[in-house]
Amino acid sequence: MAKKKKEAPITGITVSKEEDFSAWYTELINKAELADIRYNIKGFVVYREWATITIRKMYKKYEDLLDKKGHLPLTMPSLIPESNFLLEADHVKGFSPEVFWVTEAGTSGKLPERLALRPTSETALYKMYSLWIRSYKDLPFKRYLSCQVWRYEGKMTRPFFRGREFHWIESHNVFATMEDAMEQVKEDMETTYQMLQDECCIPLIFFERPQWDKFSGAEKTFAADALMGSGKVLQLPSTHLLGQKFSIPFDVKFVDTDGKEKYGYQTCYGPAQSRNYGAMIAYLGDDNGLVLPFDLAPIQIVIIPILFKGKEEPILAKAKVIFEILKKKYSVKIDDSDESAGSKFYYWELRGVPIRIEIGPREIEKEQLVLIKRHDSKKFIMKEKDLEKKVNEIAQNYTKEIKKKSLIDFESQIELCYEKDAAIEAINNGKIVCCGFCSIDMDAYHCAEVVEKEIGGFVRGKRVDEEKHEFATCLICGKPAGCTVYIAKSY
């Protein structure tokens, strides 16, 4: 037998996720080669190959879901004339501090009008909607873009979570009535659950955001929050009830069945795929690296030939036979590199490959194979003839198993608080505070400022699903509570 190669230290991620989430997340991104922050513009991140493949798969699933629900795709320019941008006052006020402006071009010098590098697409799209929509027969009008947007983010950036360029889908819709628009908002929330909970296995909850934290120019904003391992929440897709706040200034109107011209009622929905990816890897990952849902893994099965001198040929031949069988249905790779078996195991565990198949001299002799699942490390020893059936069974159940494990009881993360000191303690212990509050209208903003300055969290809003808790008074001012809200730290 050949002398065994010296095993590299199999340490996985060297920082415990539970003990130091931030350091763990940074090391995961670096070791699994998911992103590179060394691009020489602050806040602009290079997404590496492994992350890009999964993000593309997420785009495809999201786009297919939107297509099935009656949306059609568009491609729009990335530059927006300042004159478009200024039409809706609240919108321009909210976004102006974050806009990248293009002011010069080539050798011709200064442009006659500043052009905004798209921070979001309302002001670009709705100019066109006013040209395209004419009659009630054109409604509902449901369109989406898969694109990038740019915002001069002032907070600390973090790969996938927060940056100055991010990758997302925007859905922009027009309806004849406010009731129809609100039904679209509900559909958007359903779509979010279908994609992020069912496909990405991320537990989340929808809140109606307070008026001071809504999308600039919206009547109401509804946003999903996921609880990360650090005790902070991360906002995931949000959907906005715009009403007629954009249709009036942008002249988006239609001739109704009564022959009268009316303004449409609008909604928009923005799932950021880069942030969704960050939430998924952060929530599902462990101290060995990535854990990925089966359909979203760049490589679903890795075959590792365990080579011994003089016995390489039959082992490699068998690996190729298995590869040919499985590649018809799955994304498969044979790792026949010169690295030691232990180093290969470490490498593919770190990258979250769902199934590992090991083939060595013992397996050849006994006509069997060893199969290991990534997410729970379960090992199966089986006859070759049973492999395809077993792989199909694992593939069918793999994501369901991760989802069942990851969908924590959200209530267990919530602490009911009746006094400010109790809320401070709960926030410091990584909990979400549930408490009474004046309201989520602007007249309660002064209480929200106290929450931020003294408690150290942010008012996330009212739950959209059934609220189980009631309070008599506002946690901050002591006045009668108009609603129940949730407070948490956030990224």
Tens of pLDDT along the chain (491 residues)?
344 444 444 457 899 998 898 999 999 999 999 999 999 999 899 999 999 999 999 999 999 999 999 999 999 999 999 999 888 777 777 777 889 999 999 887 899 999 999 999 999 999 999 999 999 999 999 999 999 999 998 777 789 998 999 899 999 999 999 999 999 999 999 999 999 999 999 999 999 999 999 998 899 999 999 987 667 899 999 999 999 999 999 999 999 999 999 999 999 999 999 999 999 999 999 999 999 999 999 999 999 999 887 778 889 999 999 999 999 999 999 999 988 899 999 999 999 999 999 999 888 889 899 999 999 999 999 999 999 999 999 999 999 999 998 887 677 889 999 999 999 999 999 899 999 999 999 999 999 999 999 999 999 999 999 899 999 999 999 999 999 999 999 88
pLDDT at 86: 84
- In this structure, are residues 374 and 354 in contact, taking their beta carbons and an 8 Å threshold? yes
pLDDT at 268: 97
Q: Indicate the Cα dihedral angle 419, 425, 428, 434, nearest 10°.
A: -40
pLDDT at 312: 81
pLDDT at 7: 45
CATH assignment of 21-284, given 2.40.50.140, 3.30.930.10, 3.30.1370.60, 3.40.50.720? 3.30.930.10
Total residue length of the chain: 491
Class of domain 299-397: alpha beta
Distance CA 342, CA 339 (A): 8
DSSP character for 162?
B
pLDDT at 229: 63
Residues of the chain with CATH 3.30.110.30: 410-488
Return the bridge partners of 358, or none. Answer: 304, 370
Per the confidence metrics, is the pTM higher than 0.85?
yes
Identify the CATH number of the domain defined by range 410-488: 3.30.110.30
In this structure, the number of other CB atoms found within 10 A of the CB of residue 309 comes to 8
SS3 label, residue 286:
strand
pLDDT at 11: 54
HSE-up of residue 196 (Cα within 13 Å, Cβ side): 32
308 Cβ partners below 8 Å, 6+ apart?
1, 2, 315, 360, 361
Please name the residue that has the structure tokens 């799209």: 125
Please name the residue that has the structure tokens 């940056």: 163
Structure tokens at 236: 């995931």
Distance CA 145, CA 265 (A): 19
Distance CA 312, CA 318 (A): 10
pLDDT at 121: 93
Residues of the chain with CATH 3.40.50.800: 299-397
- β 165-175/205-208 pair status: unpaired
Distance CA 378, CA 54 (A): 24
Distance CA 121, CA 409 (A): 36
